[in-house]
């Protein structure tokens, strides 16, 4: 009898690990009517992610505005870039992270890391052209993500 209980426990553990892994990779998603993947979220979760995206857009705007000046304020530009860094991702609820598909999470984290790297590049006085190339790489990922995903609040 003990052997049956042990085997059942191991099988249940394996099924749980596989299901959790599948959910971590796929997230809570369905195929959307426009060909994109719909990420299924509660309204508050959707609002939270969209607010984060707006903050990232404000970050890009702040850096570009300074780059457009004849004498950019490097401290303001660094601060703008830092605002979109990894600290933005620190307080995300684990329950929300589970709902996001792995490629979405990877793109989001790479953007936050690159914002910190951009702030470091500003502090190291990279040229405007180098900074714009960094921004172009980031915004290319933004458009890719927006082409692939949409949020559906339910």
Asked whether residue 12 carries a pLDDT value surpassing 90, the answer given is: no
Count of domains for the chain: 1
How many angstroms separate the CA atoms of 24 and 4, rounded? 30
- The parent domain of residue 120 ranges over 28-153
Q: 83-129, pLDDT tens digit by residue?
A: 999 998 887 788 888 999 999 999 999 999 999 999 999 999 999 99
Residue 100 placed within a domain: yes
For residue 21, tell me if it sits in a domain: no
Residue 13 resides in a domain: no
Q: Does some domain include residue 94?
A: yes
Residue 59 within any structural domain of the chain = yes
- What are the counts of helices (DSSP H) followed by strands (DSSP E) for the chain? 6, 3
* Residue 42 belongs to some domain of the structure: yes
Measured between alpha carbons, how far apart are the two ends of the chain, in Å?
A: 45
Question: How does residue 14 score in pLDDT terms, banded at 50, 70 and 90?
Answer: low
Query: Is 8 within the bounds of a domain?
Result: no
pLDDT tens across 15-39, in order? 555 555 555 556 779 999 999 999 9
């Amino acid at each position: 009898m003990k052997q049956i209980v042990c085997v059942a426990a191991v099988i249940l553990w394996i099924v749980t690990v596989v299901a959790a892994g599948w959910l971590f990779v796929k997230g809570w998603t369905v195929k959307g009517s426009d060909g994109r993947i719909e990420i299924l979220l509660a309204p508050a979760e959707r609002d939270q992610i969209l607010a984060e995206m707006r903050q990232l857009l404000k970050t890009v705007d702040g850096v570009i505005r300074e780059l457009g000046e004849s004498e950019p304020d490097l401290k303001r530009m660094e601060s703008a870039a830092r605002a979109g860094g990894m600290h933005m991702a620190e307080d995300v609820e684990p329950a929300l992270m589970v709902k996001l598909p792995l490629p979405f999470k990877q793109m989001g984290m790479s953007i936050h890391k690159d914002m910190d790297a951009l702030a470091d590049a500003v502090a190291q006085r990279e040229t405007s052209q180098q900074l714009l190339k960094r921004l172009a790489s980031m915004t290319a990922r933004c458009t890719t993500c927006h082409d692939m995903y949409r949020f559906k609040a339910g």
